[in-house]
């Protein structure tokens, strides 16, 4: 039934299914002639983890249903305002993935490229350190949880946001 309200495409999806980058980018700026730039980032599963000698055969991703979606929505709201974005889309896959598969999509639309590049990188930096996702790698030698990286906290600090995801417990 038509609610009479304007259609608002989903901005956040947490899903096991793969996604179509081209379709998502098209949808992001459809019917908005004010968009002059679209920037997208796709993260994929690596076959090796830095410093680890054994190959990764699978990556399992878990999330905190409800909180994860809310956290990403809040990130998007911040990015829309801070970088004057016209639209943003985040898709994060969960479940068991294989090397080479797509894990995450961050795509943003803006009037000009500068804000689009910054907005996309900001969202990705925020996602790495604030969204409740956890990764477990499976190798021939067994499974291991992936540790948070201090470098990801440092990346977020470039935007003036300091936290200790990798080392502490204070939000």
Partner 1 sequence: VRCALNQSLAAEADAVVEGAEVAFFPPVTGG
10 lines the binding site for partner 1 (CB under 8 A): no
Binder of partner 1 out of 115, 120, 128, 156 (CB under 8 A): 128
- Residue-wise burial string across 99-127, b where 16 or more C-beta atoms lie within 10 A, e elsewhere: eeebbbbbbbbbeeeebbebbbbbbbbbb
Q: Which of 160, 170, 132 is nearest to 148 (CA)?
A: 132
- The distance of Cα 125 from the centroid of its chain, to the nearest Å, equals 8
C-beta closer to partner 1: residue 2 or 17: 17
The smaller minimum CB distance to partner 1, of residues 36 and 43, is found at 43
Beta bridge partners of 63: 133
Q: Contact at 8 Å (CB) between 94 and 16?
A: yes
List Cβ neighbours of 167 (8 Å cut-off, separation of 6 or more).
150, 153
Which of 79, 80, 103, 109 touches partner 1 by CB under 8 A? 103
Question: Segment near partner 1 (CB under 8 A), from 4-12, 17-25, 59-67, 80-88?
Answer: 59-67
- Here's the x/- map for partner 1, 22-41, by CB under 8 A: it reads as --------------------
66 binds partner 1 (CB under 8 A): yes
Counting contacts by CB under 8 A, is residue 131 touching partner 1?
A: yes
Residues in touch with partner 1 (CB under 8 A): 43, 61, 63-64, 66-67, 70-71, 92, 103-104, 124, 127-135, 145-149, 165-166, 169-171
């Amino acid at each position: 039934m038509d609610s009479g309200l304007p259609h608002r495409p989903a901005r956040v999806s947490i899903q096991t299914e793969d996604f179509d980058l081209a379709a998502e980018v098209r949808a992001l700026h459809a019917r908005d002639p004010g968009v002059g730039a679209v920037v997208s980032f796709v993260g994929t599963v690596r076959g090796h983890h830095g410093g680890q000698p054994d190959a990764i055969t699978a990556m399992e991703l878990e999330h905190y249903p409800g909180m994860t979606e809310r956290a990403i929505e809040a990130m998007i709201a911040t990015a829309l305002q801070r970088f004057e974005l016209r639209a943003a889309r985040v898709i994060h896959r969960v479940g068991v993935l294989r090397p080479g598969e797509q894990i995450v999509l961050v795509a943003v639309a803006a009037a000009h490229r500068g804000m689009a590049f910054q907005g996309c990188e900001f969202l990705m930096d925020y996602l790495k350190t604030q969204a409740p996702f956890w990764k477990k790698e499976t190798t021939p030698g067994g499974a291991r949880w992936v540790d948070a990286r201090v470098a990801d906290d440092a990346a977020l600090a470039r935007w003036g946001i300091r936290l200790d995801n990798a080392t502490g417990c204070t939000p």
